[in-house]
Structure 1
């Protein structure tokens, strides 16, 4: 494990001269003291790595030196070939470039490594879209991807759907700095910053996420200088922005924000075990934390966060008699009528009386 870390450290210093001990520690997920010890180990192994002080300091390799630690291990070659997403690359208009890159990479590999890479491609495939949904690439996705690659501010026009509170659908235009694209369950999203927005009053911009299939037009953002009309305006990317971390936090917050209603339930032991299969995962933790001790019949009472009474009705009918709604009364009455309708439908008929 340490040998792999030393190789990573040498390659990091070679590709990004001037990294500090703190930066290397973050990249390698070790302490700064370990970085110092590893640098000494590399020196003893003949790698001319040194630490310099000052504004342009950090770790450097000796001028003209390049490590020869760039040979791929078979497992690394397998992993590299697993990283491609054919459908996503096709949607972004990058399938030809990716294919050419793989051919060039394969041409530089030893025959044994080429076999390892091809073997992994035969054994694993990622199918990103969800079941029962025909995947389709949004028409404007390639153009939006080009704006993301080149850090160009764009003016997005998108269709906002009707809201639960009765607000009608409408078309909105926003100036956006597109930071990244995310493919989630077959749906493309663009994550960007809207300049001038933000609750902190600094004008640094608010982060927004838009479904790409709802974007109806992309145009250059209004040019700040006369005579520059029609040209895309570049933006300065925040180097601290982490797309993966932002998306994880955004998706978790979005899932919880949807749960605007609470239902009080009394569940049997079986109902409690089956609850995670029918309820929203974002609300399960809070529900279980609110659960009472079992009563004499083994039933527990808890508060379940749900999106709406309509959604809760569809979810809880799957639990049948193992779940009793105590509140709100409107949902309880609705389930009572549903039970009566089922009893009438499946009650004794002529064929049951024979």
Structure 2
């Protein structure tokens, strides 16, 4: 731990000469007294760190001295490709490696190029999670990431969601994890079934990482699996994302909508299902309402989505959902028919 901190301190001083003890303490997450002790340790190790007083003071290296600590390790170089996704790096357990990689890179740049790199970091930031959703980090995501990096076959327990009101059921699967995808704040692992031909669609599987409840090395899988060199994760995701989203919509409900409800439907329902539903819509009836079949993930999800449309939607089928919406409407009517009580 201390050795890594000393390396970080030397790189910080080389890349940003003049940092004060207070600034270094903030960067390293230690006290100023620890910074002073670490500076002495670096001096004893032959790194000519010196502290200067005055307005242009702070910590410097001796003129002309360059550390030999700037060679990137493989994991540090790999994380540079994710440096625009700080939250993703943290989720994957790679934030420390990325910080060290950026320090090493900064230490090798000319001052003019270093300023340009810092300027771009201040101007561009990618925020991956969706609005109005608190991002959650799957507990086993770092382990999944290590399996992806190492091309290690894993056995995972997966909580498969039940249909409608049925509880989830846990299944066990063997998987060669090829990659991880962050989509709208949700992590997915993409892989193939061991032994299946990769030219078959059934060989490839996609699982939500937050539904992986257990993870272990596959029995007898001592060596890394042989990765298909033709596999392109980005291309695979683009080709299968629409089909995957549609596969989540396992139930269909029949609804009648006003013109306003029809216009608002894309804002409350899943886009993959809305397009299909609009294609099945009937011509407007005498009141201007249209009837359509809407694919949904479950009746619970449909209830939450459709009640947001109020009186602009009428559920026709299935009867279980219609009855639930009817009870909800009665409860609302009873609430608003009653005289408001003074809560003061």
Alignment TM-score, normalising by the size of structure 1: 0.62
Instruction: Describe the shift of the 1:305–1:159 C-alpha distance in structure 2 as closer, same or farther (beyond 3 A).
Output: closer
Q: Does 1:100 align with 2:100?
A: yes
Aligned match of 2:266: 276
Mapping of residues 284-299 of structure 1, within 5 Å: 284-299=274-289
Instruction: Describe the shift of the 1:121–1:206 C-alpha distance in structure 2 as closer, same or farther (beyond 3 A).
Output: same
Mapping of residues 128-139 of structure 1, within 5 Å: 128-130=128-130, 131-133=132-134, 135-136=136-137, 138=139
2:227 counterpart SS class: coil
Query: Following the alignment from structure 2 to structure 1, what is the Cα–Cα distance between the partners of residues 204 and 218?
Result: 19
Q: C-alpha offsets along residues 309-338 of structure 1, whole Å, 9 cap, x if unaligned?
A: 332222221111111223334433333333
Unaligned runs of 5+ in 1: 1-79, 224-231
Query: Following the alignment from structure 1 to structure 2, what is the Cα–Cα distance between the partners of residues 162 and 294?
Result: 36
Query: Following the alignment from structure 1 to structure 2, what is the Cα–Cα distance between the partners of residues 199 and 167?
Result: 33
Conserved? CA contact 2:256–2:315, under 8 Å: yes
| TM-fit CA distance, 1:176 | 2.5
Mapping of residues 1-354 of structure 1, within 5 Å: 83-130=83-130, 131-133=132-134, 135-136=136-137, 138=139, 140-152=140-152, 154-161=153-160, 163-164=162-163, 166=166, 169-170=169-170, 172=172, 174-197=173-196, 206-213=203-210, 214-219=212-217, 221-223=219-221, 232-347=222-337, 349=339
Query: Following the alignment from structure 2 to structure 1, what is the Cα–Cα distance between the partners of residues 198 and 114?
Result: 53
Conserved? CA contact 1:291–1:302, under 8 Å: yes
Query: Following the alignment from structure 2 to structure 1, what is the Cα–Cα distance between the partners of residues 145 and 292?
Result: 46
Instruction: Describe the shift of the 1:237–1:339 C-alpha distance in structure 2 as closer, same or farther (beyond 3 A).
Output: same
- After the TM superposition, which segments of 4 or more aligned residues of structure 1 sit over 6 Å from their partners? none
Instruction: Describe the shift of the 1:179–1:296 C-alpha distance in structure 2 as closer, same or farther (beyond 3 A).
Output: same
| TM-fit CA distance, 1:284 | 0.9
When the two structures are aligned, how many residues end up with a matched partner? Answer: 259
Instruction: Describe the shift of the 1:307–1:141 C-alpha distance in structure 2 as closer, same or farther (beyond 3 A).
Output: closer
Alignment TM-score, normalising by the size of structure 2: 0.63
| TM-fit CA distance, 1:285 | 0.6
1:121 counterpart SS class: helix
Conserved? CA contact 1:156–1:215, under 8 Å: no
| TM-fit CA distance, 1:273 | 1.2
Query: Following the alignment from structure 2 to structure 1, what is the Cα–Cα distance between the partners of residues 241 and 288?
Result: 36
RMSD: 3.3
